[in-house]
Structure 1
Amino acid sequence: MASLPSATTLPELVREMAARSPGADALVVGSTRWTYAELAAQADLAADVLAGLSVGAGDTVALLAPNVPAWVPVAVGAQTLGARVDAFNTWVKAYDLDHLLASSGASVLVLADRVRSSDLLAELESLVPELGTGPGWRSERYPALRQVVVLGDRVSAGALTWAELAATAEPTPRVPAARPEAPAFVLYTSGSTSRPKAVPLCHHDLVLNAFHIGERMGVTAADRVWFGSPLFWSFGCANALVNALSHGACFVLQEEFTPAGAAELMAAESVTVAYLLPSMVDALVGSVAAEVAAIDPLRTGATIGRPEEVRRAVEDLGITGMCNVYGATETYGNCCVTDHRTPVDVRVTTQGPPLPGVEVRVVDEAGELVPAGEPGELQVRGRVTPGYLGDDAATAAAFTPDGWYRTGDRMLVDPDGAVSFVSRTTDMIKTSGINVSPAEVESFLAGHPDVTEVTVLGAPHPSRDQVVVAFVVARSPGLTPADLIAWSRARVAGYKVPWVAAVVDELPRTGTGKLARRTLQQAAAELVTARLEGDA
């Protein structure tokens, strides 16, 4: 077992590992390869750049970028100055970005100019037209926002470029101003509300939780941890990244997941640990299973999913120590993890016992404890978010008066303390590991000029867990499902776009006027099946 770091903040953690093993590989992204000493220097350089923009304690730096080398040092550099980092997802359109900027109150936004076919800078310019007026601009819509810094070649007249700022800065070691109990990251997650909620995750709990996740996975300083999901999700910045850093391991980051690219990178870097989502397992097994299974050092990792999905990672991909995990953004990514040394049958059917410092309980609808082995709602206490920023009502709804987080998942705890997922007790949609709020998608679709009524729900999918399905009543007969999906794709983050939709004359209702959700669930499942058969 590794020794628990003494660091209580992320900037201190990077410095501790740089002092412990300065020449060890810390981060590999594309052609960039930094040792721990170099990563610490890059974080100091980023702190100098941001300090030059007047970032300090209490500020918020918003980071909108894919898995690029600058992501980690920018985040750690901002935190070194005592700022928090609000991680925005790169699938945003103006509709999504408007809420994120307003909710975060960010004073500085660091963003990639584009991500593949998505022009992020254009989405920002549509919200902040003042950027085109040159230096000294002020946003009427977001009064807290004072600087925009671009990672890329296309720059607005009023924006700055990270490359130019970094070229004139010098890395200056400084005493980190981050506080252990203060938020390191604020992540945005969907739930029952119509817009994403701001979830603060604090420094010390991040370090402790991720370290214990790595212990369950058997991670050591000799390991090389591959990650191909976005860093801006809790699976990334709150879990995999800090897991690697807290063990002094090398973090091998893939900017954009493709099965062939992942297999090639894992082999080239002699990866030993892999973080996988069910859709990734499906893609790897479907095209490069032999190549992944041939990577001899690859022995452990973390994934979620149904028993057959976890078993495919173990058996078809040859990752014999793959761990099954459970958690949410509110629980620092994972709160329960199987041990890599437990029998495979246990690891595919349970999500393991709670991590050290975490408590779980199962209650019935009245909030009373149920006996071991009986299902009920799982509640978590210990390393959980202190509450949603700026949303006391959502915090009160998500937590019991004595501090237990209501997961909204129906689970059971066996006599040995391992939890097992049964079903969801909420309407929240889980698609490819991402939470999607039906209420948020409904609110967005209701803005279509030809939609008079809409309901959204999730339906089972063989590799994505669930997909978003929309039923709409149209104002005019010309609206088609394809029109609705195309309209959505141009205006909202891709994971919120209905995977399939139907235009109906009316929504089914019960005799008391309530939506007939059972009827809709059956219809949604049939729509998904029809599309899958049509795509085959």
Structure 2
Amino acid sequence: MSPMPAAETLPDLLRECAAAAPEREALVVGGVRWTYAQLAEEMERARRKLRGIGVGQGDVVALLAPNVAEWVPVAFGALACGARVDAFNTWVKAYDIDYLLTSSQASVLVLADRVRGNDLVGELRKLVPDLSKPSEVFPGLRRIVVLGDEGPADAPAWSALAQGPDEHGKPGPDDAAFVLYTSGSTKNPKAVPLCHGDLIRNGFHIGERMGLTAEDRVWFGSPLFWSFGCANALMATMTHQACFVLQEQFEPAVAADLMAAERVSAAYLLPAMVDALVTAVADRVRAVTTLRTGLTIGRPEEVERAITRLGIAELCNVYGSTETYGNCCVTDHRMPLETRLRTQGEPLTGVEVRAADQETGALLAAGEPGELQVHGRLTPGYLGDDEANAAAFTADGWFRTGDRGVVNADGTVSFVGRITDMIKTSGINVSPAEVESFLAGHPDVAEAVVLGAPHPSRDEVVVAFVVARGGNLTAPDVIAHCKERIAGYKVPWAVAIVDELPKTGTGKLVRRTLRDQAEKLVQDKLKAGKP
């Protein structure tokens, strides 16, 4: 068992690691290899650059970037200024950026110029045509900085920023470090603050369940801007002074090569990743003899497939959400296989989970399925959303997950399914209400309903039923409209243009009928060869 770090803030955690193991590798990504001493110096350099453009205590730095080396030092440098970091997802279009910048009230935006096919600067220009001038739309946004060596003429490049005064901020353990944006049953993504001290403590306990030590090398190929990344994998790795092996974009063959070359010992996986690795490079992953542990989610057969086909003998099954710092339950890596398949383990140290009757709120005995509720390390509450907070937290301070599950007699927790309408596609939460609201803005859409349907490798996919105004709108038209304007993971995988939506005599939508139709629509497209 490793000792709990003494640090209570993220910048101090990195400084503690650098003092204890300066020459140990901390971060490997692309062509960059930084020891803990070098990563700490990169953080301090980023802090001075951000101080040079006025970032200080209480500011908000929005970070819009993929898994590049700069992500960690920029984020930690902002935190070392006493600022908060709002991590934005890189699939955003102008529609999404508008909401995120308005919600975050960001003082500074640091962004990559583009991510794969998504021109982030181009999308931003639709809202802020001149990046060098104050924006009437976002009056609090003082500076825009583009990562890399070269930026557009009207915005400075990160590498060109001059260093400012060597001043430190003073974040506290209960201050928000990251704010992450998560979709649920509401129209817009909710802003979820996660605090310094609990990020460290939760990450440490996750790493303990995985059996991490300072000798481990942890592979991660999902986005850092998810809680799975910055609140979970990064924290579990750093609290154990291990090495974080980061892949910018998941591709199964590249992942297998990287795992082998870096002799990784732990991997963070999602069902879609497992499917891709097993299908394309299972033998190559199994040949990485150092790979022994990690985390994944999914149905028992999906977890078993990862363990047996990829040869990750001590892989842990997990349960949690952004609001619970990524995970609140993790199976111990030493648990019998059957326990790791049928449960998500016991709550982490310092966390409690209970099951309650969804209608009455009455607490249920062990073994009785109900709504899972969590107490302990939780977000202090959604920012600026009293209505969502009232719905999400019970009177006695427990978080209502919206998930159905069982607390077993042995203290382990078993996830059963979701109670809410939220869609989870390839590990990403999608709010049906948000996509419906977007579709309602199309001039040729009279009504739209969005829901999830099962998919063999993506868990669920987004399906939209659209009533058109007039007869010219087609399903490809709807999909193309979405692809141009909203984040890719929100784009409906399948669309049906219908004459009317099924409703009761009182006008209430009959979702059960649509769910059956959505499943058939997905099955038909799969049979036709769409992956």
TM interval, shorter chain, is over 0.9
**Segment of structure 1 superposing worse, 144-153 or 245-254:** 144-153
Q: CA deviation at 1:126?
A: 0.8
- Contact 1:212–1:355 (Cα < 8 Å) also in 2: yes
Match of 1:330 among 323, 326, 329: 323
Structure 2 residue aligned with 1:194: 187
- Contact 2:432–2:450 (Cα < 8 Å) also in 1: yes
Match of 1:414 among 383, 408, 419: 408
Structure 1 residue aligned with 2:66: 66
Structure 2 residue aligned with 1:27: 27
Q: CA deviation at 1:170?
A: 8.4
Q: Does 1:139 align with 2:139?
A: no
Cα distance between partner residues in 2 of 1:153 and 1:487: 34
- Describe the superposition over 1:289-325 as per-residue Cα deviations: whole angstroms up to 9, x where unpaired: 0000000000000000000110011000000000000
Q: Does 1:488 align with 2:459?
A: no
Q: CA deviation at 1:516?
A: 1.2
Cα distance between partner residues in 2 of 1:146 and 1:230: 27
Alignment of 1:417-428 (within 5 A): 417-428=411-422
Structure 2 residue aligned with 1:151: 147
> Aligned partner of 1:155: which letter?
G
Q: CA deviation at 1:175?
A: 5.0
Cα distance between partner residues in 2 of 1:264 and 1:157: 38
Cα distance between partner residues in 1 of 2:145 and 2:236: 29
Percent identity, aligned pairs only, is 67
Cα distance between partner residues in 2 of 1:170 and 1:101: 25
Structure 1 residue aligned with 2:513: 519
Cα distance between partner residues in 1 of 2:196 and 2:165: 23
> Aligned partner of 2:377: which letter?
R
Query: Which structure 1 residue ranges, 5 or more long, are not aligned?
Result: none
Q: CA deviation at 1:200?
A: 0.1
C-alpha RMSD of the superposition: 1.1
Structure 1 residue aligned with 2:16: 16
> Aligned partner of 1:129: which letter?
P
Structure 2 residue aligned with 1:161: 157
Q: Does 1:379 align with 2:373?
A: yes
- Contact 1:42–1:171 (Cα < 8 Å) also in 2: no
> Aligned partner of 2:329: which letter?
C
- Describe the superposition over 1:237-284 as per-residue Cα deviations: whole angstroms up to 9, x where unpaired: 000001111000000000000000000000000000000000000000
- Contact 2:7–2:13 (Cα < 8 Å) also in 1: yes
Cα distance between partner residues in 1 of 2:350 and 2:139: 40
Q: Does 1:210 align with 2:203?
A: yes
Q: CA deviation at 1:421?
A: 1.0
TM-score (norm 2): 0.98
Cα distance between partner residues in 1 of 2:157 and 2:525: 44
Alignment of 1:42-57 (within 5 A): 42-57=42-57
Alignment of 1:79-158 (within 5 A): 79-131=79-131, 135=132, 137-152=133-148, 155-158=151-154
Cα distance between partner residues in 1 of 2:345 and 2:473: 48
Structure 2 residue aligned with 1:312: 305
Q: CA deviation at 1:401?
A: 1.3
> Aligned partner of 1:232: which letter?
F
Q: Does 1:450 align with 2:440?
A: no
Structure 1 residue aligned with 2:229: 236
Cα distance between partner residues in 2 of 1:454 and 1:24: 54
> Aligned partner of 2:399: which letter?
Y
SS at match of 2:208: helix
Q: CA deviation at 1:154?
A: 5.8
Cα distance between partner residues in 1 of 2:153 and 2:235: 36
Match of 1:478 among 472, 479, 492: 472
Distance 1:270 1:157, change over 3 A: same
Cα distance between partner residues in 2 of 1:244 and 1:88: 22
- Contact 1:11–1:176 (Cα < 8 Å) also in 2: no
- Describe the superposition over 1:323-362 as per-residue Cα deviations: whole angstroms up to 9, x where unpaired: 0000000000000000000011110111111001111110
SS at match of 1:4: coil
Cα distance between partner residues in 1 of 2:7 and 2:496: 53
Structure 2 residue aligned with 1:398: 392
Alignment length, in residue pairs?
529
TM-score (norm 1): 0.97
Q: CA deviation at 1:512?
A: 2.9
Alignment of 1:226-305 (within 5 A): 226-305=219-298
Cα distance between partner residues in 2 of 1:368 and 1:192: 23
Q: CA deviation at 1:228?
A: 0.2
> Aligned partner of 1:483: which letter?
D
- Contact 2:52–2:165 (Cα < 8 Å) also in 1: no
Cα distance between partner residues in 2 of 1:34 and 1:512: 63
Cα distance between partner residues in 1 of 2:322 and 2:165: 33
